[in-house]
Amino acid sequence: MDTLLHLLLLLVILLNFFLLGSSRLASCIRTTAFQGGILSLLPLLAHGFSGHTLFLASVAFLLKGIAIPYLLFRAIRQVHIRREVEPLIGYVPTLILGTLATAGAFIFSGRLPLIPEHSQSLFVPVGLATLATGFLMLISRRKAITQALGYLIFENGIFIFGMLLTEAMPLMVESGVLLDLLVGVFVMTILMHQINREFSTMNTDNLTSLKE
Amino acid sequence: MRITILQLFLHLLLLFGLSPLLSGVIGKTKALFAGRVGPPFLQLYFDIWKLFGKGLVISRTTTWIFRAGPVVGLAVPVLAALLIPFGPVGAPISFSGDLIFFVYLFGLSRFFTACAALDTGSSFEGMGAVREVTFSCLAEPTVFFVFIVLARLSGSFSLDAMFGPTLAASWHTAAPSLLLILVCLFIVTLVENCRIPFDDPNTHLELTMIHEVMVLDHSGPDLGMILYGAAMKFLVLGALVVRLFLPVTTGNIALDILLFIGGLLFMAVVIGVIESVMARLRLLRIPQLLVGVSLLSFFSLILLLR
Amino acid sequence: MNFLFLSWLVLGLGACAAALPWRSSKITAILGGGSAVLGCLSGLIAAGQGLIADTAATFSLPWSMPGGSFSLRLDGLSAFFLLPLFIVGLVGALYGTEYMRKEKARLHWSWYNLLLVSMAMVVTAANGLLFLFAWECMSLTSFFLVITEYDLPEVVAAGWTYLLATHLGAACLFAFFLTAGAFCGSLDFASFHLLSTLTGPVASVLFLLLVTGFGSKAGIFPFHVWLPDAHPAAPSHVSALMSGVMVKTAIYGLLRMCSFLPASPAWWGGLLMTIGITGALFGIAMAAMQRDVKRSLAYSTVENIGIILLALGFWMHSRAAGQHVVAALALAGGLIHLLNHALFKSLLFLGAGSLMHGSGSRDLGRMGGLMRRMPVTGLMIVCGGMAICALPPFNGLVGEWFIYRALLESGAALSGLGGFFPVMLIGFLALVGGLALIVMTRIIGIALLGVPRSPAAAQAHEAGWPMRSAMIALALLCLAGGLMPIQLLRVTGRAAVLLDPDSAHLFAGQVITPWWLGIMAFLLIGALLAAFSFNRWRQGRATVAAASTWGCGFAFPSSRMSYSAESYSELAQSGILCSCLTPESKDGRTIGFFPLRRSFVFNAPDPVLEKFFKPLFQRLAGYCRRCCRLQSGNLHIYMLYVFSATVLLLFWVGLR
């Protein structure tokens, strides 16, 4: 069970790298969906089958693996874009930054004063690395859709962190976070549609002209 | 630190005897996918034999460098092969730090191949030379990262020990890292041997080639030596991949060697399948992919460092 | 020691004799060059004695300067630096007798000999004041050598940049020696051992002074800005001496002074490593973009100094961490690379000079096909190029092998953050190695191979025997270093034990021996010969026809169609390098069919100089200009200044 868990978490990191290095929006969304799917397995693997974990896993799978990707796919179909054209920071530099951040997460988590049963688990470093990946996406990409993906990955990182606390965390909090996310993506897609109609482009840079 | 006559003999036999077969297997696999009969398995042997008997055409622009390219290209893989184990057969020469020599040995062959290409004064061959040196420059850190992972696991700095008997035990303790570096090493093998998706060995357009365009002007025995050298290089790097993939030993040396040869042929089939189902990458994407691969190997190292 | 004095005497006499107004420049060359050769031979004997002797030779005379004494000390470390100095000085002098024949500079040989004397004095001085004196002499003589062609404005500009940089560095050294002298009570190095009692922050400030002061001479990043201008401006054998040896005297100074300071904390090493790897990456990236051969080689010096610094920094770091084997490997790597770099970089500079001599240009785009007209020079450049790319069987690999091994051992042994940095450095070092291969194949491929790119290159002529033999001697030394790495380690060990006494047994023992590298070099040569004879044998039975290069069906290829230096590095620029290094180019694109005449300008200036130092100094100049208002030219105002200064001084004295 533990090895499988480790492998899945490593897969999450590899998917992070792929997200940072890929310019095609469709494959980015697909990868995020895949990552969400993997994450939804984690509660089951980490804490065994119980009503709590089953509920969490199924909700996470439905939202992260199916609902949100579906919304995003619909959005890019509506606005006819297929790739991030010119990111603020290039793909290779973001990849390098991502690797450094991942390495940093691994080394940093080795120094954290964690309780013994968590000190060897990969949850903390992978969670940190995924958070960093989300941040990097948010910083370096222009399109609203990649911004949304960044938020998603960011939330995935929090979710991995939450795995450590599933026993302690009330169901409501976790469901609330997931619901928040869904609403966030909804708003984002609507916003995207509006931006596209208004400016006939998807660059969030144009939002700066709203500031006056 | 030892040289064993038997190991030396086995290495040279496998190297000289087996290396052209791999390209035949790849060709056959691709032909199978395309629904053709394809060239015979031994096609490259025939080609090399024929070329060794043919005359030479040499460009008037060239100097001795042009002739030195094939010579270095043949000598380097032979020497490099002596530093690595072929499956169960240990390396005839091994010393602490030979992995650095191994890497720079291929640097030597690249240096002369690129210079020989530039010697013709053709812009096509110049283009090939640039691509070769630039892509290899990006692949080199990956090779070092892969070797460090193995050095950490085996606690030794000679290729023989790094790819030696301890490898099987390492698969139990550090499977994720080894899996990652297996992928990385396989990709490096593809890059260094100019296979799809990095280079198409069968393309007909000079503008898009890497390795083939560098040797456009070579002919006769020179070309034969280049082909033979390239086949050997493929075998040498492939042997590392196979060893990493199949670190098992049954105890019976003959069976082990057969297993190793089977692994090599299997790898050739896999490459044939990849070449059949994938297209060549755009040139601009190649550096990105190579950087990604070196970062991946770096990450596999971080997993161990933790 | 006596041979060292003899060498100085010969060099000094030669300098005076060459300065006399002889009627023929030939006599000047024979007097100056001949005395330099003789002086260097004598100096080599002195260096050999210093390396063999177990105790240091010392010599001391009183000097009327306050705090100064004419104290010299020749130990293993000094002798280790004297060795490349006199080797390169010797071959450079031999080379120069032919190279400078047509040049108008009369005093060239005097400066050359004096530069040799002052460099030898820098590495043997045992007194702070004498050291600074020799240091200044070295800076000034090399400045005069740089501006040999003083009628070219860019040469003079390069000279001024150099003078400014070297004196800003010297200011830091003055500060260091004044502090150290005040603390120890004497400027003699013998009393500097008191410095080891200094406490943390003071020692660190002194260390930073040393890094800045010596770094500006050594050309470490970001103080390298003078180097790519000054080295190409000088005559080639002077470039060889400056690049191969003079920058190393700064490393000597750093090592010597650090040996007086208290045991280094780990972050000193970390600082040097960071500077080193940054400089190495920056230098080699810039080298890949230069059109000017010598400028490209000068940037490669920045790279190699970076590698040396990386190794030495790693030595300090791992010694502080108590890893003795790793420290010994790193120290051996740094010092061997230093010696090797002196040899192969000099060889390359001499080769580049020979190319300039033959084809009349430093521009890669105006060379091409020179291998056919200048076979010996071409072969020598190929040898030097292989050595600098650390390819077997040449000496470059030995140093890099040690450095890689040090990093590997530490990366494989440590975990966490401690193992992270060596591993990252290995990746960067591998990248530097790959880029070095691009740089050298570019120089060789564009300058030596292919078709001539200008009428001058088509008419190029081979150098005469003095220039050729100078290059051959260096190339043979490079090969010898690769074939006998044990000897290289033994020579290095004499210097290393003085710096790191704990590692003496490692240098003598079997733990870090590079014995197998020598064997492998021989095996490689054997394998190459076997492949070569096979090729000859097949060719002997075949018909050999000559034809023109395959041009995709086009039968009349011209030089304008062959690959250019800019295009050679374009892929690396776009694929690997950071966009902040991208060279300036304009108007390269042709639009539409039947384009009109287009021009293409390509220029790769130093980004550090352009974006940091120039604005900085311009701003400083602005502030200084504001101070010029004080200087109104009115006598009365000046009297007011004098008066107010007097009053202030009186107050200060009175109120104290």
Contact A42, A104 (CB under 8 A): no
Compute mean pLDDT per 10 residues along chain C, 656 residues long, and list them: 92 90 82 92 94 87 81 92 95 90 74 94 92 94 90 90 92 93 87 84 91 92 90 92 94 93 88 95 92 94 96 93 91 95 96 91 89 93 96 94 94 81 92 94 92 89 92 96 92 89 82 89 96 90 83 72 84 78 72 75 84 90 86 80 89 80
List residues bridging with C603 in a β-sheet.
C584
A99, B84, B153 from C412: Cα distances, Å: 20, 20, 8
- The beta-carbon neighbor of C427 closest among B70, B79, B141 is B141
CA distance C103 to C106: 8
- Nearest CA-CA distance, residue A189 and chain B, Å: 30
Residue that the structure tokens 């390269």 belong to? C588
Please give the pLDDT value at position A204: 62
- Per-residue pLDDT band for A202 (boundaries 50, 70, 90) equals low
Chain B interface, mutation test: which of C383, C446, C535, most B Cβ atoms within 10 Å?
A: C535
A84, B107, C374 from B214: Cα distances, Å: 35, 16, 24
Contact B244, B178 (CB under 8 A): yes
- The beta-carbon neighbor of A7 closest among B176, B295, B299 is B176
- Would you say residue A34 has pLDDT above 80? yes
Please give the pLDDT value at position B1: 41
Contact C517, C401 (CB under 8 A): yes
Per-residue pLDDT tens over the stretch B228-247: 999 999 999 999 999 999 88
Chain B residues touching C330 at Cβ < 8 A: none
Interface contact flag, C562 B121, Cβ < 8 Å: yes
| Number of Cβ pairs < 8 A linking chain B and chain C | 274
Smallest CA-to-CA distance from B237 within B189, B205, B300, B201 is with: B189
B6 touches A: beta carbon within 8 Å:
no
Tokens of C61: 């005379």
B302 touches A: beta carbon within 8 Å:
yes
Contact A108, C417 (CB under 8 A): no
Chain C interface, mutation test: which of A92, A99, A107, A111, most C Cβ atoms within 10 Å?
A: A107
Smallest CA-to-CA distance from B226 within B244, B237, B213, B208 is with: B213
Burial B145-154 (b: 16+ CB within 10 A, else e): bbbbbbbbbb
Contact B225, C542 (CB under 8 A): no
CA C341 to chain centre: 8
B296 touches A: beta carbon within 8 Å:
yes
CA distance C425 to B153: 20
- Burial of residue C151, with CB atoms counted within 10 A of its CB: 0-12 exposed, 13-18 middle, 19 or more buried: exposed
**Nearest-by-CA chain B residue for A107:** B306
- Nearest CA-CA distance, residue C431 and chain A, Å: 14
| Number of Cβ pairs < 8 A linking chain A and chain C | 7
Residue C66, helix vs strand vs coil = coil
Tokens of C243: 């690049």
Beta strands B56-59 and C544-547 are parallel
The arithmetic mean of pLDDT across residues A187-204, rounded, is 63
Contact C395, C343 (CB under 8 A): yes
**Nearest-by-CA chain A residue for C418:** A107
- The beta-carbon neighbor of C420 closest among A90, A103, A111 is A103
* Every domain of chain C and the residues it spans: 263-528, 607-655
Which has more confidence, C237 or A202?
C237
Tokens of B132: 């070769």
Chain B residues touching A110 at Cβ < 8 A: 306
CA distance B203 to B137: 24
Contacts of A7 (CB under 8 A, 6+ apart): B176
Interface contact flag, A110 B306, Cβ < 8 Å: yes
- Nearest CA-CA distance, residue B275 and chain A, Å: 22
- Nearest CA-CA distance, residue B134 and chain C, Å: 6
Interface contact flag, A99 B175, Cβ < 8 Å: no
Chain B residues touching A102 at Cβ < 8 A: 299, 302
CA distance C21 to C26: 12
C420 touches A: beta carbon within 8 Å:
yes
CA distance C349 to C241: 9
Spans of chain B below 70 pLDDT:
1-3, 204
Chain C residues touching A110 at Cβ < 8 A: 416
